[in-house]
């Protein structure tokens, strides 16, 4: 998880890596980047008519930008068995530096390294919409991912600290006041507690019926001048 910079929205709280869909994530050649999952199935999973796969693509891109974790495999090889040599890692470092400077070259990096997006290592778990009382509102879809033993490094701009932590520990730390999080983060962590391992969690979430995936828009009312949660 990543601690947000005080200069950003939700400054000082711990969040999952994430961001918004860019134009580059919406591809006319999804099969090239995602042979494991097609756009029709991804869109159906999200309840969209098209471009659902762009959410998986954006997850992978944003995860790389914010944490340095690259959820991409060599063509014909799964993520677990993908080996990146020293030259590959040097190229990745060069691209990462330029990406953090604002260049939209993530997919160019994927092409250069002859990689595919490991969309089969992600699962869609929930959809949250910001309450109507907020001036700035978001429609946010949450995913989980299984990765290899890569070293995660926050970008130092939007994220100023990072750490690996299991859901149960994060929730306990939050209750003690040592690990501030907002409600959507807390509720998503609660949903992924109690699993034996990531494989079980990923399989369970991917096999859920679409109707069982939470769509949440918290409802608040103003009581005595203060917002009060009515339901979510």
What is the rounded average pLDDT of the residues 99-125? 96
* Mean pLDDT rounded to a whole number for the chain: 92
pLDDT higher than 70, residue 21: yes
pLDDT higher than 70, residue 28: no
> 221: burial class by Cβ within 10 Å (0-12, 13-18, 19+)?
exposed
Which pTM does this prediction carry? Answer: 0.92
CB 10 within 8 A of CB 4: yes
- pLDDT per position as a tens digit, 164-176: 999 999 999 999 9
- pLDDT per position as a tens digit, 184-197: 999 999 999 999 99
Give the fold, CATH level 3, of 2-231. Answer: Nucleoside Triphosphate Pyrophosphohydrolase (3.90.79)
- pLDDT per position as a tens digit, 32-76: 899 989 999 999 999 999 999 999 999 999 999 999 999 999 999
């Amino acid at each position: 998880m990543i601690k947000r910079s005080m200069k950003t929205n939700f400054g000082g709280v711990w969040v999952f890596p994430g961001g918004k869909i860019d134009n580059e994530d919406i591809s006319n050649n999804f099969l090239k980047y995602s042979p494991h999952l097609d756009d029709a199935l991804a869109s159906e999973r999200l309840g969209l008519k098209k471009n659902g796969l762009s959410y998986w693509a954006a997850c992978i891109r944003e995860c790389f930008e914010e944490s340095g974790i690259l959820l991409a495999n060599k063509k014909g090889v799964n993520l677990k068995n993908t080996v990146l040599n020293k030259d590959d890692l040097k190229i990745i470092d060069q691209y990462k530096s330029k990406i953090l400077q604002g260049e939209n070259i993530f997919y160019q990096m994927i092409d250069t390294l002859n990689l595919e997006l490991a969309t089969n290592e992600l699962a869609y778990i929930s959809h949250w919409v910001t309450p109507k009382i907020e001036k700035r509102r978001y429609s946010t879809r949450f995913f989980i991912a299984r990765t290899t033993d890569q070293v995660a490094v926050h970008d130092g701009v939007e994220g100023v600290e990072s750490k690996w932590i299991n859901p149960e520990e994060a929730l306990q730390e939050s209750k003690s006041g040592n690990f501030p999080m907002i409600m959507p983060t807390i509720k998503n962590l609660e949903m992924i507690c109690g699993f034996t391992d990531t494989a079980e969690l990923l399989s369970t979430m991917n096999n859920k019926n679409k109707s069982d995936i939470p769509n949440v828009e918290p409802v608040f009312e103003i009581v005595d001048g203060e917002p009060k949660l009515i339901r979510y």
